[in-house]
Structure 1
């Protein structure tokens, strides 16, 4: 009896599809835990899989697809928290699936950037790759992925690509709204700290600030504008310059939370009370925003949710259009903003 069972053919994905009355693609989606299925179909297919004792063979499937069940994450970003949040979002999307995450840091300024990415894709044969800004803003990298027939999703602050290859946030509108909040609190002279040159997010956030200044007729001249590199140290330097202006701004918007924390430090060095004498708003809603004192009002960048959506577009590219492409950033009001004294 045992010998006969030993030689019985193993059930295949075709057997599962036939008995469940669905397509092979639907069975594959069930196996990959795709969220784009109704529960009735999922339960029916899962029941047939259990009854047959069907066990997917990832090696065979990878060989047939000529790619591995790997999601590549390509980035060059000085903000470690951003990279961590992206990883958490991707891992949430591929939990309980056959997919794994593989990391590929790059130097976007290197003359060997494209050669390095080509070697990574050809060697690892990933199912698809996710690109973080500013690498995602490089059209040549996207063109390389298309040349190598490697599916990809670009994350960014603007419409960089078609919906199946894009996950986007609304940075420009979010910053406009944040400045409007400061104006509603009575602030007219508002300082601004831009992000690093070469980052589309920095351009979009600066554009949102300029939109609000023009729309509301606010005072924000070159003496209360500066640029940083998305780090605490550059925020401290920029904040020091703005706070030494005469007259100094009653509020400062910083293009990320790390730099906003640097502004808060510069204010304390000068005996400037926050929020009584100075209001500060950051961007990202990184952990530091809630942990410093006073807690920082900030624009919440939904980076983990964006990364999760990007991974789902890769896991089931046939249904990429069904996933969201635009994610809205919200203003999180905390204790670093108050009304102006005049």
Structure 2
């Protein structure tokens, strides 16, 4: 019974006994038999994760965090992609996760976390699910996020403190979710500091590297160029760096560039990106832990306070931005 409690990460075990069990598990190279565990309980020990159009750097960071946590909890992660152009097949695939694989819960990455068809399917199936960075209907299931609005506000404010007043923004893929919140935070930071922004300084992107290149070229071709560009994610900010290189514009001497997310891409491009650090790994860990806890077996948290899990962000100053000269 003690071994079972330790392997299922239950609390009613002393630290001394827990250490002895874990040492024995390591020495014996023990691996739980998933089929036997499924027979002995009502759990499948599978967790599903559904994603769609997201930058590879974001998805990979989240997946690594989720996989690591599933392994530590004795679960397996099953990943599925939602294809917007084939809604019927995508919904059928999610149904298979529920009816055939019988996952214990599902994690929804944005923007699927706001997809009404998917939400309706999961609610009808009465299966636990955790939403990542949703934008609406925040009372229907647990969710994990950061304060995207405040993060963008703070990032814009940092550029203003560095002396910038001509700040452009590259919007994400749509007008909803994190993209909307980041855009609104950007605008409000400028308004709070009595700084106006011309329409030409606002460019629509798609959260992709190529859209960042195109948006960067557009902004750098203006007669009255911005002195700083704030992109709604690191992929687009990296695209801006490429656009600057093509136009022989020095970053950050001539234009400062700021991204969002702090994925591995931020420190693989040159110059390294100033960005907002979103704790993607920690969000993945928490999402898995919420489902593995078993608290939401009826599809809903035990109390309304358990719905909302807002993690901290951090502004990371690197070489792509500086005080204006």
Calculate the TM-score normalised by the size of structure 2. Answer: 0.86
Contact 1:164 1:317 in 2 (8 A): no
Corresponding residue of 2:321: 337
Question: Is residue 86 of structure 2 the alignment partner of residue 102 of structure 1?
Answer: no
Kindly report the root-mean-square deviation, in angstroms, between the aligned alpha carbons of the 2 structures: 2.9
Q: Deviations over 1:155-187 (max 9, x none)?
A: 015465349621111111001000000000110
Report matched runs for 1:45-124 at 5 Å. Answer: 58-63=34-39, 65-112=41-88, 113-124=90-101
Go from structure 1 to structure 2 and tell me whether the alpha carbon gap of 1:87 and 1:260 turns closer, same or farther (over 3 Å shift).
same
For the residues of structure 1 that align with 2:32 and 2:154, how far apart are their CA atoms?
A: 49
Unmatched segments (≥5 aa) in structure 1 = 1-15, 21-26
Q: Deviations over 1:207-241 (max 9, x none)?
A: 11111121112232111110111111110110111
Larger radius of gyration: 1
Corresponding residue of 1:214: 191
Question: Is residue 284 of structure 2 the alignment partner of residue 307 of structure 1?
Answer: yes
Corresponding residue of 1:326: 310
Calculate the TM-score normalised by the size of structure 1. Answer: 0.82
Corresponding residue of 2:180: 203
Go from structure 1 to structure 2 and tell me whether the alpha carbon gap of 1:29 and 1:152 turns closer, same or farther (over 3 Å shift).
farther
Corresponding residue of 1:143: 120
Corresponding residue of 2:27: none
Q: Deviations over 1:28-62 (max 9, x none)?
A: 6532235xx37x53544776998xxxx97643442
Unmatched segments (≥5 aa) in structure 2 = 25-30
Go from structure 1 to structure 2 and tell me whether the alpha carbon gap of 1:286 and 1:96 turns closer, same or farther (over 3 Å shift).
closer
Please report how far the alpha carbon of residue 246 of structure 1 lies from its aligned counterpart in structure 2 after TM superposition.
2.0
Q: Deviations over 1:268-309 (max 9, x none)?
A: 222221111111100111222112221110011111110110
> Secondary structure of 1:284's match?
coil
Please report how far the alpha carbon of residue 201 of structure 1 lies from its aligned counterpart in structure 2 after TM superposition.
1.6
For the residues of structure 1 that align with 2:270 and 2:196, how far apart are their CA atoms?
A: 27
Please report how far the alpha carbon of residue 198 of structure 1 lies from its aligned counterpart in structure 2 after TM superposition.
5.7
Please report how far the alpha carbon of residue 122 of structure 1 lies from its aligned counterpart in structure 2 after TM superposition.
0.9
Corresponding residue of 1:4: none
Please report how far the alpha carbon of residue 258 of structure 1 lies from its aligned counterpart in structure 2 after TM superposition.
1.2
Go from structure 1 to structure 2 and tell me whether the alpha carbon gap of 1:43 and 1:193 turns closer, same or farther (over 3 Å shift).
same
